[in-house]
Amino acid sequence: MLTRDFLKLAGLSIAQRIIPPALLNLWAQAADAQAKGRKVILVTFGGGVRTEETFSPAGLRNIPRLAALRPEGYFYQNCVNEGVLSHFNSTGSIVTGNWQRVDDFGFEAPASATIFEQYRKARKAGPLDAWVIATNKSFAAMGASSQRGFGLPLGANVVLPKQLLLDAVNDIVRKPQASDVADRDAVHRRLETILQEGYEGVGWTIFKGGRQMDQHVRQTLTRALGSFINGPEAPTSGDELTFFITREVMREFSPSLLLVNFWDMDVAHWGSYSLYLQAVTRTDRLTGMLWDEVNENSKYKDNTTVLILPELGRDGDSNTANGFLNHRSGDPSCRNTWLLALGAGVTKGATETPIRHIDVAATAAAMLKFKPEGMVGVPVREILV
CB 247 within 8 A of CB 293: yes
> What is the rounded CA–CA span in Å between residue 94 and residue 362?
9
Q: Residue 242: its pLDDT value, please? A: 85
Structural domain boundaries in the chain:
41-163+237-380
157 backbone dihedrals φ, ψ, rounded to 5°: -70, 130
Please name the residues in contact with 223: beta carbons below 8 A apart, sequence gap of 6 or more.
none
What CATH fold (topology level) applies to the domain 41-163+237-380? Alkaline Phosphatase, subunit A (3.40.720)
Residue-wise pLDDT tens digits, 71-110? 999 999 999 999 999 999 999 999 999 999 999 888 899 9
Largest Cα–Cα separation, the chain: 62
pLDDT in tens, 189-210: 544 544 443 333 444 444 333 3
Whether residue 116 is predicted with pLDDT greater than 70 in this model: the reply is yes
Most confident of 138-147, 235-244, 349-358: 349-358
Q: Flag whether pLDDT at 152 surpasses 70.
A: yes
Which has the closest alpha carbon to 96: 366, 384, 381, 357? 357
Helix (H, G, I), strand (E, B) or coil at 191: helix
Pairwise CA distance, residues 21 & 28, whole Å: 10
Q: What is the rounded CA–CA span in Å between residue 94 and residue 49?
A: 16
Distance CA 46, CA 322 (A): 19
304-362 tens-digit pLDDT: 999 999 999 999 987 566 788 889 888 999 999 999 999 999 999 999 999 999 999 99
